[in-house]
Amino acid sequence: MDSCDFTVSVKRRDVVAAVLPLAEQLLAMSNLDLLLPPLDVGIFLCYKKSSNLSPESMVTVIKKALAQTLVSFYPFAGEIVQNHRGEPELLCSNAGVDFVHAYADIELKELDLYHPDFSVHGKLVPVKVRGVLSVQVTELKCGGLVIGCTFDHRAADAHSANMFLTAWAEISQAKPTTHLPSFRRSLFVPRCPLQHDESIDKMYVLLSSIPPPPKDIEVSNDQLLSRIYYIRAKEIDRLQFEASKNGTRRSKIESFSAFLWKTIAEGGNDLSKGVKLGIVVDGRKRLEGREDNLSLQNYFGNVLSIPYITSQHRRIEINDTRNGRGFGARLRGCGCH
């Protein structure tokens, strides 16, 4: 059987709300949240067959723990609405999370995780139709489970989602919750008087200043693809060693990103074509002068940036990760540490 061609059947659909009654409230979005367009993000977690519980029992535990976790992470049980200015905000109404219990006629070892767009998206990770979060728990033929979640990126970044998933896992195992979310939007109130770096003017422009698109637009063959890679630690160490010569030590993310960037560029035929690399960076540890670091680390929302760098195939071929002045130096220059 093709590892992307398998059948998923729905066993049950539910709406899971917080186990305790919650007062309805509106939660404003910060300026960092408002930078993001409506965008749903998916994540999935794979588990081997449990020796203690049946798949049905595991789904019951997962669903019960979700209802308990939503008491603290209540925005995930709400919805995004527009205020009188037309800006999105979170309506924390405890309307609940769409929860699907499904079965897939495939074993975990047969899943083609190299092509998640075809083997995972829409099959094991649900397409969200309402609310902020949707969950699907899928039993596999081997007895394993896949937990797929889709959430609205305007409400939470990966750091926030990870806090939620960690708390969910801890509650399902009857463990105390390590981190409780903070919703202190006052942490990101704009400076008064307002200050901004000149680089902001290069990143954003007024829509009115953009000329209309040409009538005859050439259709691009470029496609957005997702890939999942498994890299052994010794290979990362080797890349870091090769990129850190000439007395300069590069980080693991710099070294691997430079290697990946160069590899992708070498696969292109047009040497004049530009190649871009962007890395999502969590800004919580990079904000200085905050009076409450704990609230910042537990902050629920978006605190991210995507520094990027652009070059041409020809320039990338000239530079090499073994050269201390190559990609690592240029990545460091764009803020990827």
Distance CA 133, CA 79 (A): 9
Q: What is the predicted pLDDT for the residue at 206? A: 77
Q: Superfamily assignment of 8-181 in CATH?
A: Chloramphenicol acetyltransferase-like domain (3.30.559.10)
Is residue 176 classed as helix, strand or coil in its secondary structure? coil
- The whole-angstrom distance between residue 267's C-alpha and the CA centroid of its chain comes to 26
Please say whether the beta carbons of 133 and 97 come within 8 A.
Answer: yes
Distance CA 29, CA 81 (A): 11
Spans of all domains in the chain? 8-181, 229-333
Residue with the two structure tokens 């309402």: 130
Residue with the two structure tokens 């609405």: 81
pTM: 0.82
Q: What is the predicted pLDDT for the residue at 249? A: 87
Distance CA 231, CA 256 (A): 10
Phi and psi dihedrals of 77, rounded to 5?
-95, 10
pLDDT means over runs of 10, the chain (337 residues): 81 97 93 91 94 91 98 97 92 97 95 90 95 97 96 96 97 94 87 76 76 74 79 92 84 86 73 74 76 77 83 54 41 38
Q: In sequence order, which residues have a C-beta less than 8 Å from that of residue 224 and are 6 or more positions away?
A: none
Is residue 311 classed as helix, strand or coil in its secondary structure? strand
Q: What does CATH list as the number for 229-333? A: 3.30.559.10
Q: What is the predicted pLDDT for the residue at 324? A: 36
Q: What single string gives the DSSP state of each residue in 89-101? A: EEEE----EEEEE
Q: What is the predicted pLDDT for the residue at 92? A: 97
Q: In sequence order, which residues have a C-beta less than 8 Å from that of residue 214 and are 6 or more positions away?
A: none
Q: Do domains 8-181 and 229-333 have the same CATH topology?
A: yes
Structure tokens at 260: 């990946």
Q: What is the predicted pLDDT for the residue at 330? A: 45
Please say whether the beta carbons of 68 and 19 come within 8 A.
Answer: yes
